Amino acid sequence: MKPLALSLLLASVAFAQPGTTKEIAPGVWFRQAGPNEGCNHLVVEMKDYLAVVDASYPQGANALLADLKKLSPKPVRYVLLTHHHGDHTYGGAVWTRAGATTVAFAPLANEYKRLEPGRFQGAVKNRQDLAALRLEAPEPPKQVVSGGKFVLTDGRRKIEFRHYGWGHTRGDGYVYLPKEKIIATGDAAVNAPANFLSDSDLRNWPRILAKVEKLKLEQVAPGHGPLGKANVIAGQREFLSTLVREVDAARKAGKTLNDLVKIEGERPVSTTVRMPDSVKTWVGPRLPAQLQETWQQLAAAK
């Protein structure tokens, strides 16, 4: 890459703000979610169409659609869903009504059958953008992929949609651009204290991230938080591994959950665990609850 082009790319990344869409490589855009929009997006320009990572909430979907009208005349043909959580999928109907096909791996579709419409109906009570869809349940993915890979290519660019197994959720999908060395991770790797653990396999999740780290990566588009480098994957893996290691050590030492986490009523409010500085990006007010979830999951041998 020429020095000027590189400087422009770095400037674009450095000044990206929540709620804005920035080009991070030729024909590849990253949008960090604005307040109440849902999740981050990656947009990839192919020869005749655009592919988008994640549907977000309707508010976020409509915000990105408005941006795309300024960026490219090409239609959005595919929306690749990284996992089943509402902030990544509940805007699916916005995209399909605009002519796109939502794509997900089979375990994600199975989670819809297992968990919905209960979660959706609970969310509708608190979100006007969901109520405006006038749906009784979230729209399931239009195309379900069996196996571990779905590939889009036009002879110039390749998009690899990969599934490695149960990590953050059963249906996690990673969107990898091998030529550009960019990956969109959904919430399998975030770049903020935004980890939700309740649908995860905490022992397998770090193992999957170790496999992802072996890919050639220069930029990581996380599900939440700012655009990052390959160290986002390593940091996410270390954060999760530390949770498991701390809880494992406490259980082997004969300690109880109450030795690690102070609980008032039914709410975890503080913890005696001190996480290393190397994972401070991922540590926030939810740490006591994350440790409680880790304890409960390991105790149940999930």
Topology of the domain comprising 3-229: Metallo-beta-lactamase; Chain A (3.60.15)
3-state helix/strand/coil string of 32-62: CCCCCCCCCEEEEECCCCEEEECCCCHHHHH
Q: What is the mean pLDDT of each run of 10 residues along the chain (302 residues)?
A: 40 64 98 98 98 98 97 98 98 98 98 97 98 97 97 97 98 98 98 98 98 98 98 98 98 96 95 97 98 96 62
pLDDT score at 180: 98
pLDDT score at 210: 98
pLDDT score at 17: 86
pLDDT score at 6: 38
pLDDT score at 138: 97
Domain ranges of the chain: 3-229, 243-299
Statement: the pTM of the whole predicted model exceeds 0.75: yes
